[in-house]
Amino acid sequence: MRTSYHEELNSVLDHLVHMADLVEIAIREASEALLTADLGRAEAVITNDAQLDQMHEELEYQCLSLLALQAPVAGELRTIVSAIRVVFELARMGDLAAHIAKIARLRYPAHAVPERFEPNFREMAEIAEKVIDVARLSLLERDAQGARTLATIDAKMDGLRRDHFTEIFREGSDIDVEGAVDVALLGRYFERFSDHAVAVGRRVIYIITGEVPEGVDWPNA
């Protein structure tokens, strides 16, 4: 009976890794839709977000069932509670990818990102793909040290986000209101995507070590 329980617990973690795979695909495709004004890609991301929502519901139910029926203790309880949080973070990341795709669709056939901001958003897209990949691998390999690197990567995303406002509000900037709103919203979506990946990393560390890293010293903890 206990063996079956542990198999089910491992199954939950395996499904989280699969969900992270789908989120990585979603942000990659949403970013390309945004930067290339690709309507087909944008529509696919928006449609496929329903699959992530369904996985969220199913995995959350599975975790709650384990809590109710198996009376987990110590590390088992830590894993189940963390898995509930991780599935929430991954679902939110999928939603953010869909939000990016919706802005690409809204502005089609024009590009939502003003030309001067394209290099910045290209770098943001690369970081977004990097953070979900690191989060996924830390889950797959139960790698606390890999998860710790997420805070450092996230700091680069925050810097790119600050650059948006420096450019938007600089003296002599000729960006129009619509462009400024799009840049502000899109930058926020990418920034929050990275924040959720960091939250996944914190939960991975908690599963492995029993401690949740906080504060500025996290990368070196």
Predicted local confidence at residue 2, as pLDDT? 55
Going along 89-210, which residue ranges are E strands?
A: none
pLDDT at 218: 54
Looking at residue 68, its pLDDT comes to 82
Instruction: Tell how far CA 73 is from the center of its chain.
Output: 29
Number of H helices, E strands in the chain: 6, 0
Which spans in 142-176 are helix H? Answer: 144-168
Interval 56-82 mean pLDDT = 86
* Domains present along the chain, CATH in parentheses: 2-220 (1.20.58.220)
> What mean pLDDT, rounded, does the chain reach?
91
pLDDT of residue 3: 55
pLDDT in tens, 118-146: 999 999 999 999 999 999 999 999 999 99
